[in-house]
Amino acid sequence: MSRQLRRFWNSRLPTTVDIERRGIRYRLNVRDNVTDAKILLSSKVYDREELEHLANACDDGTFIDIGANTGYYSLHVAAAGARQVLAIEPNPPTFRRLLFNLECNRFAEAIQALPLAIGPNGTAMLHLAEGLGSASLNPSEQSRGNTVEVQTEPLLDVLTNAGIERIDGLKIDIEGYEYQALEPFFRDAAPSLHPRCIVIESCHGHIWEKDVLALLREHGYQIQSRSRSNSILYLS
C-alpha cells in the first residue's frame, strides 16, 4: 500500500468506511489506524501467511489474540472455524471499534472481547500513539506523551477465568511489551496450556526487555516462517 494512496484517501475521501472483505464486515478508519488502512487499501490480503497458519491451527479450537486492535485477526480466525476466541484490547477507543466490528458479524459470537492489557495484576498507564493500534504499556518513540489508565491481568489469570485449558493458536502484538506479557505465563503455566502456534510481532525486537524469541525457543518453539513484521512459531 503506497503512502501516496493513503494521503489521497485522507484528503479527499471519507475517514470512516463500512466495508465487507472476504465475508467479514468492518468499520474502518484510515486516518487513525494503520491496520484499518491496510485492510482497505492493500491489493493483497494483509498478513495472509500469518492468518493461514492460525486458521489452520485453530480450526474448531481456541485462539488468543493479545493486542486485538479492531479485530482483524480475531474475525479472520473465527470466520475460519475457531470454536473460541479471546480478543484482548486495552485501548478504550480501539476497544469500542472492536466491539462494533464484532456486532457486525454473526460468526463473531465465538469471540469474547476483554478490555484489558496483559501485565501484572492491577492497573497501569497505557502510552498512546498517533495510531489507535500502537498503544502500549511500553513507552516508545511513537508515544505522544498521552496516557490512559487501564486494567491489567496476567495472561494465566485471564485464561483461568475464561475456563481455557488448551490454546491452539496465539497472536501477540503489543508494541514491545511482549516479553513482560509472556515470560510469567511460560514460567507458571502447565506445559499443556502452551499454545501450539504463535504469531508474534518481532519487528520491535530492539525495544524488548529481553529476547522473546529466545524465551520461546527455551520452551520448545521453532520458527517456521518470518515476515517483515512477524515471526510464526510452532511447538515442537
> On the CB side of 156, how many CA atoms lie within 13 Å of its CA?
15
pLDDT at 86: 99
pLDDT at 83: 98
Query: Around Cβ 105, how many Cβ atoms within 10 Å?
Result: 19
CA dist 35 and 75 (Å) reads: 14
Torsion of CA 197, 202, 208, 210, to 10 degrees: 50
pLDDT at 78: 98
pLDDT at 143: 61
pLDDT at 4: 60
Query: The domain spanning residue 162 has which CATH number?
Result: 3.40.50.150
- Give every CB contact of residue 66 below 8 A, 6+ residues apart in sequence: 88, 118, 155, 170, 171, 172, 173, 174, 181
Q: What are the tens digits of pLDDT across the range 155-214?
A: 999 999 999 999 999 999 998 999 999 999 999 999 999 999 999 999 988 889 999 999
For residue 176, tell me if it sits in a domain.
yes
Strands 230-235 and 197-201, by their bridges, are: antiparallel
For residue 97, tell me if it sits in a domain.
yes
* Sites in the chain below the pLDDT cut of 70: 1-14, 140-144
For residue 139, tell me if it sits in a domain.
yes
Range of the domain at 52: 45-235
User: How many helices (H) and strands (E) in the chain?
Assistant: 8, 12
- Specify the DSSP class assigned to residue 138: S
For residue 29, tell me if it sits in a domain.
no
For residue 14, tell me if it sits in a domain.
no
For residue 20, tell me if it sits in a domain.
no
For residue 23, tell me if it sits in a domain.
no
Listed residue (228, 182, 234) closest to 208, CA to CA: 182
* Number of domains present in the structure of the chain: 1
For residue 19, tell me if it sits in a domain.
no
Element (H or E) spanning 3, and its range? helix 3-12
For the chain, state the CA radius of gyration: 17
> On the CB side of 161, how many CA atoms lie within 13 Å of its CA?
9
CA dist 84 and 198 (Å) reads: 16
